[in-house]
Amino acid sequence: MNKKLKIAVVGATGAVGEAMLSILTEYGFKDADVHALASEKSLGKSVEFGHRKLAVEVLDDYDFTGTDFGLFSAGAGISLKYAPKAAKAGCTVIDNTSAFRLDDEIPLVVPEVNGDLLENLGAGSIIANPNCSTIQMLIAIAPVHALAGIDRINVATYQSVSGAGSEGLEELARQTVDRLSFKEVTPSVFAQPIAFNCIPVIDTMQDNDYTREEMKLHWETRKILRDDSIAVNATAVRVPVFYGHSEAVHLETTRDISMDAVREAMHGAPGLVLIDDTDAKAQVTAVTHGAGKDETFVSRLRRDYTHPRGINMWVVSDNVRKGAALNAVQILKMIVAGKMPVET
């Protein structure tokens, strides 16, 4: 980078904030003037940034004037309070919370899918990061939508505990030890014990008996694909995995399309790796393929024998990296570079 950028990471002591700092060094911003921001309770702490340690600064005391970019991942309430202030000071905000995702005036961006929305954005803009489960699903299905349209999606998500932050990771680790030690398990982060268990509720229940996590897939898919005709029927499940979300995706296209055309489109799609192999040992999983990786992986791609335009696939990705921190840094990099597609 020719200009030394000033970047603020809000929520720098959380799981996603720490990942943002790490990915910034990997994606060409190791020499940037980076500020790690958090609440007052983190004052005196430091965080890793490449080979340096950054002293944590208090968000309440930080002046965003002169800051080029703000990466926010400290909860929707914090974003609603501070992101507009940062934007007013001329800082371009990339927000990883739910605060602005459904705002019609704010772009909701997956760079590989609708990165064109980043063109001609001025300083002081706010850009929203989609939900983690939405990001990986859309990277997988966007090539199909572009070729044949999509009428309907049925998806079951199997979401790791890191989606609930550091507290979720700690609860699974603690409960795993307690279970193996034949101790009583008491849940605190999740509604029920998560170790060796699956919980079919993520986020709050809505009036239609779907959870908010499930409805996010419906709302965000329509906005990102710019297609209000798509219906998304989702079931979101929390599973005892530390990192990496998995999804069983079943879609129905609007127009006929051959599986050969689907495979060709997916093989050429940015950020997507298709493993087109029926061997059980070749199938992608959250642990072996998703965790720690930047790409979204697909296997079990096949025609739905019960529907003439049905397609089934299994999708995995790292929810903290591509599902949150990496997506934000890719947005930043695209804006700085002023070009598409994303360079990884």
pLDDT tens digits, one per residue of 147-169: 999 999 999 999 999 999 999 99
Q: 217 and 83: one domain?
A: no
Query: Catalytic residue among 35, 145, 245, 289, which?
Result: 245
3-state secondary structure of 205: strand
Does residue 39 share a domain with residue 161? no
Half-sphere exposure of 161 (CA within 13 A, CB side): 28
CATH number of the domain residue 26 falls in: 3.40.50.720
Tokens of 340: 């598409």
CATH number at residue 205: 3.30.360.10
Residue 342 within any structural domain of the chain: no
Question: Does a structural domain hold residue 344?
Answer: no
User: Are residues 306 and 168 part of one domain?
Assistant: yes
Average pLDDT in the chain: 95
Mean pLDDT is lowest, of 115-129, 157-171, 328-342, for 328-342
Percent of the chain residues past pLDDT 90, beyond the cut: 94
Same domain, 67 and 31: yes
Same domain? 159 vs 210: yes
Q: Indicate if 287 and 328 belong to the same structural domain.
A: no
DSSP helix/strand/coil, 336: helix
CA dihedral for 28, 87, 66, 335, sign (positive or negative) = positive
Domain-located, residue 124:
yes
Q: Does residue 343 sit within a domain?
A: no
> Do 178 and 239 share a domain, yes or no?
yes
Decide if pLDDT at 291 tops 50: yes
Q: Band the pLDDT of 3: cuts 50, 70, 90.
A: low
Considering the domain architecture, whether residues 90 and 123 belong to the same structural domain is answered as yes
- 245 catalytic per annotation: yes
Cis status, amide bond into 341, omega within 30 of 0: yes
The verdict on 53 and 162 lying in the same domain is no
pTM for this prediction: 0.94
Q: Which of 132, 145, 218, 289 is catalytic?
A: 132
Model confidence pLDDT, tens digit, residues 212-242: 999 999 999 999 999 999 999 999 999 999 9
Residue 327: band (very low, low, confident or very high) from pLDDT cuts 50, 70, 90:
very high
Catalytic site includes residue 198: no
Does residue 252 share a domain with residue 146?
Answer: yes
Does residue 161 belong to any structural domain of this protein? yes
Domain that holds residue 140: 133-319
The whole-number pLDDT of residue 338 equals: 82
Instruction: Write the DSSP symbol of residue 202.
Output: -
Report whether pLDDT(341) > 50. Answer: no
> Same domain for 158 and 297?
yes
Total count of domains within the chain: 2
Task: Say yes or no: 159 and 272 in one domain.
Answer: yes
